[in-house]
Amino acid sequence: MDFKDYYAVLGVSESASPEEIKKSYRKLARKYHPDVSKEDNADEKFKDLGEAYEVLKDPEKRAEYDQLRKYGAQADGSFQPPPGWQSASGFGGGGYTDADSRQFSDFFEQMFGGGSGPGAGGFRQSMRMRGEDVHARLALFLEEVFNGTEKQVSFAVHEADEHGRVIARQKTLKVKIPAGMREGQHLRLKGQGSPGSGGAAPGDLLIEIELAPHPLFSVEGRDVVVTVPVAPWEAALGATITVPTVGSKVNVKVPKGTSSGRKLRLKGKGLPGKHPGDQIVVLQIAIPEQHSAEAEKLYEQLAEAEKAFNPRSKLHL
């Protein structure tokens, strides 16, 4: 089915006011009236003008058409009804006859269920279309994701004003964020999107969770990763050290002979959920920037005692 661009037919923009639409219709109707016009296809153009004006003069029908125009029009000029729309019965006014309906195009007939003649007061049917879903992003701190929180979310929904023009309206909601939400996960709020047309249900609000960078922790899925420095003697001899987690602090045993980069896993200390994540502790050996003379002598003794050890043996050096 061919798409009918009623705004182009009337020579107005999609943001045109009702007064501009009416003015353009009257001007073009005089130009193409079959009784006076000498233009080619004047009769067809006059019918197209009447059809376009029938839709755009009515705020509700104009809003429905704008939805169809946005989601159903194809690049090749054809029209495919968007998913989720259906017609709902309802006569718009008196004086309607089958003869009247034949003055409208197939596009009008199939999308709006026929039309009324001049002065008949409306359409035989009104299109129902579910409102569009609205997407928003919400940045959270790791502690908020770990414990759950309540945040205000602002977003824009699209709806028709009293003149039938589609406008963006700002909307703010207080949203409860459950504990354990992950980066990129979506929270769906039913019915909080843009309003539907023809009495159809509104769309949903889809909130995508983002994690703000944390100075200590990073997140991999449900696991929380932290890098913890240890002294050379703690790594060599073994030690019990205090390690931060998102919710608290815990004591961790560093195994004797630990190398830099070794990972320790703390079960269940990651993001909460049905299957909680773990906390991964990455041990990193830290060397003092300056040593005392006594410490340097001890290192010299250690080097002599361990001279058979080659830390670069795997590099064949």
Q: Are residues 225 and 146 in the same domain?
A: no
User: Quick one: pLDDT at residue 80?
Assistant: 60
Burial class (CB in 10 A: 0-12, 13-18, 19+), 54: buried
Residue after which a domain boundary falls, among 153, 179, 211: 211
The CB-side HSE value for 134 (13 A sphere, CA atoms) comes to: 26
Helix (H, G, I), strand (E, B) or coil at 18: helix
pLDDT greater than 70 at residue 85:
no
Q: Are residues 32 and 95 in the same domain?
A: yes
Closest Cα partner for 165 from 89, 261, 58, 75?
A: 58
Section 3-9 average pLDDT: 87
Indicate the residue type of 40.
D
Burial class (CB in 10 A: 0-12, 13-18, 19+), 239: middle
User: Quick one: pLDDT at residue 159?
Assistant: 83
User: Quick one: pLDDT at residue 84?
Assistant: 52
User: Quick one: pLDDT at residue 94?
Assistant: 33
Burial class (CB in 10 A: 0-12, 13-18, 19+), 198: buried
Closest Cα partner for 5 from 100, 59, 72?
A: 72
User: Quick one: pLDDT at residue 129?
Assistant: 73
Q: Are residues 78 and 17 in the same domain?
A: yes
- pLDDT tier for residue 96 given thresholds of 50, 70 and 90: very low
Helix (H, G, I), strand (E, B) or coil at 46: helix
- Residue pointed to by tokens 């929270």: 187
Q: Are residues 101 and 83 in the same domain?
A: yes
b/e map of 208-237 (b: 16 or more CB within 10 Å)?
Answer: ebebeeeeebebeeebbbbebebeeebbbe
- pLDDT tier for residue 5 given thresholds of 50, 70 and 90: confident
* Residue 245: Cβ within 10 Å count: 18
- φ, ψ of residue 8 to 5 degrees: the values are -65, -40
- Which tokens in the block code for residue 225? 């990763």
The CB-side HSE value for 112 (13 A sphere, CA atoms) comes to: 30
User: Quick one: pLDDT at residue 141?
Assistant: 96
Section 281-296 average pLDDT: 94
pLDDT tens digit string along 212-263?
999 999 999 999 999 999 999 999 999 999 999 998 999 999 999 999 999 9
User: Quick one: pLDDT at residue 55?
Assistant: 87
Q: Are residues 117 and 178 in the same domain?
A: no
Closest Cα partner for 139 from 152, 122, 125?
A: 152
Q: Are residues 35 and 146 in the same domain?
A: no
Please name the residues in contact with 298: beta carbons below 8 A apart, sequence gap of 6 or more.
none
- Residue pointed to by tokens 């050996």: 285
Section 33-39 average pLDDT: 79
Work out the percent of the chain whose per-residue pLDDT is above 90: 50
User: Quick one: pLDDT at residue 311?
Assistant: 86
User: Quick one: pLDDT at residue 137?
Assistant: 93
Helix (H, G, I), strand (E, B) or coil at 294: helix
What CATH number has the domain bearing residue 143? Answer: 2.60.260.20
What CATH number has the domain bearing residue 121? Answer: 1.10.287.110
Q: How far apart are CA 181 and CA 256, in angstroms?
A: 37
pLDDT greater than 50 at residue 310:
yes
Residue after which a domain boundary falls, among 104, 129, 154: 129
Q: How far apart are CA 171 and CA 156, in angstroms?
A: 6
User: Quick one: pLDDT at residue 99?
Assistant: 33
- Beta-bridged to residue 205, according to DSSP, are 134, 189
- Which tokens in the block code for residue 166? 């589609």
Helix (H, G, I), strand (E, B) or coil at 100: helix
Of 9-13, 32-36, 68-72, which gets the smallest average pLDDT? 68-72
Number of domains present in the structure of the chain: 3
Q: Are residues 115 and 38 in the same domain?
A: yes
- DSSP state letters, 102-134: TTS-HHHHHHHS----TTS-S-SEEEEEPPPPE
Is residue 1 assigned to a domain? no
Section 289-294 average pLDDT: 92
pLDDT tens digit string along 164-181?
677 889 999 999 999 999
Q: Are residues 221 and 194 in the same domain?
A: no
pLDDT greater than 50 at residue 95:
no
Q: Are residues 118 and 153 in the same domain?
A: no
pLDDT tens digit string along 174-207?
999 999 999 999 999 999 999 887 778 999 999 9
Residue after which a domain boundary falls, among 129, 157, 174: 129
- pLDDT tier for residue 51 given thresholds of 50, 70 and 90: confident
